[in-house]
């Protein structure tokens, strides 16, 4: 079984790099950027260091690719930076990959957190450098939440990146939201988003599994296949989610079929589906029926509607960290079996 390198744990007072690998939302919504930076300071007790390109916008990208890559590389290499967070996702993080010197990062793992399009960079670092990376909150959507980051999101992030999480059972949030609030208007800074009761996870197939976690946004993940920046673990628990147009059932089905045709599911020991509110029933078919149609002849457990993905609040899932699934009788326990970070006992 693959073994991945754990980065040093995050501690209060640490410096945290902020990058915008794709979408220029920080340049478009500076008020939300400020709210996110304040939420990061108060929520984790760290000091943000904002890369220059974060304030830039060139069309739908946060500046030239060479500048984005150079600043990301510098923050990942810098011994004074304990972690790197992304402002948001986007669509074009993959163009940074040829401009990164991943060999220079081998043996020097660092906490790298984000989700959605950031899946590209996280899985490249896990694949090529052997790093444990973290699919979790981004600066502007989660840390910029009004009036403060959601406690569930913060508590789970802290549990995974600041201390030994061995034995941590990943919970469901009691409430959730997918409400859109315009960051350019006053409403986003005057009221909390409306929350609804979370019905909790669903067991789509019972069973047990034990393997490292590996995954992210399903359509983004698929774009890595066939490139030199992806190396599938020998066996793993795959976690995926989808949002907006990519969450339409035909596109989810196509993404799953592509993974199947690439032989990926022969390595999968369990499948976790995040909340996909945009995966609405279509032509009389549900998301569950779509997934089970593609994977009908596999026997690994499948657990869905977990608290990760594009809904809030969210879990932080560490790529490369050994985990287990125990799904039986309609209940599912997902547990981290090892620490995702190296904790300094003197601190």
8 A C-beta contact, residue 250 and residue 256: no
Provide the pLDDT confidence category of residue 329 given band limits of 50, 70 and 90.
confident
Q: What is the mean pLDDT of residues 254-277?
A: 97
Q: What six digits make up the tokens of 328?
A: 């039986």
Tell me the per-residue pLDDT of 290-322, one tens digit each, with 9 for 90 and over.
Answer: 999 999 999 999 999 999 999 999 999 999 999
User: Tokens 């995966």 appear where?
Assistant: 279
At residue 175, the pLDDT reads 97
E-state strands within 102-256: 111-114, 133-135, 175-176, 196-197, 202-205, 207-217, 236-241
User: Tokens 């326990």 appear where?
Assistant: 333
Which CATH number does the domain 175-336 belong to among 3.40.50.1000, 3.50.30.60, 3.40.50.300, 3.20.19.10?
A: 3.50.30.60
CATH topology identical between 15-161 and 175-336: no
At residue 2, the pLDDT reads 72
Q: What is the mean pLDDT of residues 105-120?
A: 97
Q: Classify 15-161 by CATH class.
A: alpha beta
d(CA 176, CA 313): 6
Dihedral of alpha carbons 71, 73, 79, 84, sign:
positive
Q: Is the per-residue pLDDT at 346 higher than 90?
A: no
Strands 111-114 and 81-86: parallel
At residue 106, the pLDDT reads 96
Instruction: Kindly state the percentage of the chain with pLDDT values over 90.
Output: 97
8 A C-beta contact, residue 97 and residue 65: no
At residue 24, the pLDDT reads 97
Q: What six digits make up the tokens of 49?
A: 């260091």
Burial degree of 297 (CB within 10 A; 0-12, 13-18, 19+): exposed
Q: What is the mean pLDDT of residues 21-28?
A: 97
E-state strands within 74-222: 81-86, 111-114, 133-135, 175-176, 196-197, 202-205, 207-217
User: DSSP alpha helices (H): ranges in 140-269?
Assistant: 151-161, 218-222, 249-261
Domain boundaries, the chain: 15-161, 175-336
186-204 core/surface letters (b: 16 or more CB in 10 A; e: else): eebeeeeeeeeebeebebb
Q: What six digits make up the tokens of 315?
A: 């879990």
d(CA 28, CA 185): 12
Q: Is the per-residue pLDDT at 347 higher than 90?
A: no
Helix axes 151-161, 30-44, angle to 10 degrees: 60
For the chain, state the CA radius of gyration: 19
Tell me the per-residue pLDDT of 123-166, one tens digit each, with 9 for 90 and over.
Answer: 999 999 999 999 999 999 999 999 999 999 999 999 999 999 99
At residue 1, the pLDDT reads 60
Q: What is the mean pLDDT of the chain?
A: 97
């Amino acid at each position: 079984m693959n073994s991945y390198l754990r980065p040093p744990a995050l501690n209060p007072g640490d410096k945290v790099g902020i990058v915008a690998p794709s979408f220029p939302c920080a340049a478009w919504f500076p008020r939300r950027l400020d709210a996110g930076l304040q939420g990061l300071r108060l929520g984790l007790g760290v000091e943000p260091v904002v890369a220059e390109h974060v304030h830039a916008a060139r069309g739908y990208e946060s500046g030239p690719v060479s500048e984005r890559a150079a600043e990301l590389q510098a923050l990942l290499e810098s011994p004074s930076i304990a972690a790197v967070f992304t402002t948001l996702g986007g669509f074009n993080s993959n163009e940074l990959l040829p401009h990164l010197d991943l060999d220079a990062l081998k043996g020097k793992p660092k906490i790298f957190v984000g989700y959605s399009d950031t899946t590209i960079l996280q899985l490249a670092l896990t694949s090529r450098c052997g790093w444990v990376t973290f699919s979790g909150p981004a600066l502007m959507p989660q840390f910029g939440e009004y009036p403060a980051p959601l406690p569930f999101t913060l508590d789970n992030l802290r549990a995974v990146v600041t201390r030994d999480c061995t034995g941590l059972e990943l919970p469901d949030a009691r409430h959730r939201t997918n409400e859109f609030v315009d960051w350019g208007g006053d409403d986003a800074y005057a009221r909390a988003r409306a929350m609804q009761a979370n019905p909790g996870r669903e067991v789509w197939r019972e069973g047990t599994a034990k393997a490292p976690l590996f995954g992210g946004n399903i359509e983004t993940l698929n774009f890595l296949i066939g490139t030199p920046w992806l190396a599938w673990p020998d066996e793993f628990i795959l976690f995926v989610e989808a949002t907006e147009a990519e969450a339409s059932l035909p596109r989810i089905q196509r993404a799953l079929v592509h993974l199947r045709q690439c032989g990926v599911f022969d390595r999968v020991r369990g499948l976790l589906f995040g909340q996909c509110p945009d995966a609405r029933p279509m032509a009389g078919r549900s998301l569950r029926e779509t997934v089970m149609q593609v994977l009908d002849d596999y026997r690994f457990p499948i657990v869905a509607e977990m608290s990760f993905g594009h809904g809030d609040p969210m879990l932080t899932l560490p790529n490369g960290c050994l985990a287990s699934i125990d799904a039986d009788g309609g209940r599912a326990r997902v547990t981290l079996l090892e620490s995702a970070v190296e904790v300094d006992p003197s601190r």
